[in-house]
Amino acid sequence: MKKDLGVKAAVFPMPVLMIATYDENGKVDVMNAAWGQICDYDKVILFLAEDHKTTANILTSRAFTVALADRAHMDAADFFGIASGNKMEDKFERTGYHAVKSSRVNAPVIEEFPVTMECELAEVVETENVYGIVGTIVNVMAEESVLAEDGKVDAGRIDAILFDQFRNGYYTVGEQVGKAWNAGMGLMKK
């Protein structure tokens, strides 16, 4: 029997996305954002508050990168969510992490995270209930260590972390349990 829990953000899993931008002076800023998702084959949407430094940076530079956080870098990824770039001048520097300028967009690529999407600002969706930043993915880059023999990203090799909104926990991606667009094929034949 189900028990009523009230209003909760009850979607699991949520990605742990590292959004990296440059500010107006070319300084690297990174934030942890769990409320983001692919919204088309070449589009990503981030639901960020308007008062985030990252939001202002995206609106100014019209570009950003989105990296997948992994277990090896969980502490820094969490820190990027705790610390505000509006309040902490040396936020990125405290981690000791490294950034290089993307060759495709005006945004930094954080070298420590294994998979990164380079994005250009496509539009801002603003309604009474939604503030979303839509980016066009112009390239995806990945460390060779997370690539399978066929050259595609192997989710099991990323060791990506996921956010649990129920208990504020991080989890890692586990084993593959089926193939998409295949596991349900038996029901197609009924």
CATH number at residue 132: 2.30.110.10
Identify residue 161 by its one-letter amino acid code.
I
* 53 belongs to a structural domain: yes
Counting every residue written for the chain, the total comes to 190
Among residues 109, 147, 87, 153, the alpha carbon closest in space to that of 19 is found at: 109
Q: Is residue 136 part of a domain?
A: yes
pLDDT, tens digit, 9 for 90 and up, residues 92-107:
999 999 999 999 999 9
How many domains is the chain partitioned into structurally?
Answer: 1
Token digits of residue 88: 């902490």
Spatial separation of the C-alpha atoms in residues 16 and 88, rounded to whole Å: 21
Task: Establish if 2 belongs to a structural domain.
Answer: no
Given this model, what pLDDT does residue 69 score? 97
Q: What are 128-149's pLDDT values in tens digits?
A: 999 999 999 999 999 999 999 9
Contacts for 43 with CB less than 8 Å, ≥ 6 apart: 122, 134, 135, 136, 137
Residue 8 resides in a domain: no
Domain assignment present for 148: yes
The predicted structure's pLDDT at residue 172: 94
Count the Cβ atoms, other than its own, within 10 Å of residue 63. Answer: 23
Domain range holding 143? Answer: 14-188
Low-confidence ranges of the chain (pLDDT < 70): none
Secondary structure class of 103 (helix, strand, coil): coil
Q: Which amino acid is at 95?
A: T
- Note whether residue 7 is domain-resident: no
In the chain the beta strands, taken as DSSP E runs, fall at 14-15, 17-22, 28-33, 36-40, 43-46, 63-68, 99-101, 108-110, 115-126, 131-142, 161-164, 169-172
6 within a domain of the structure (yes/no):
no
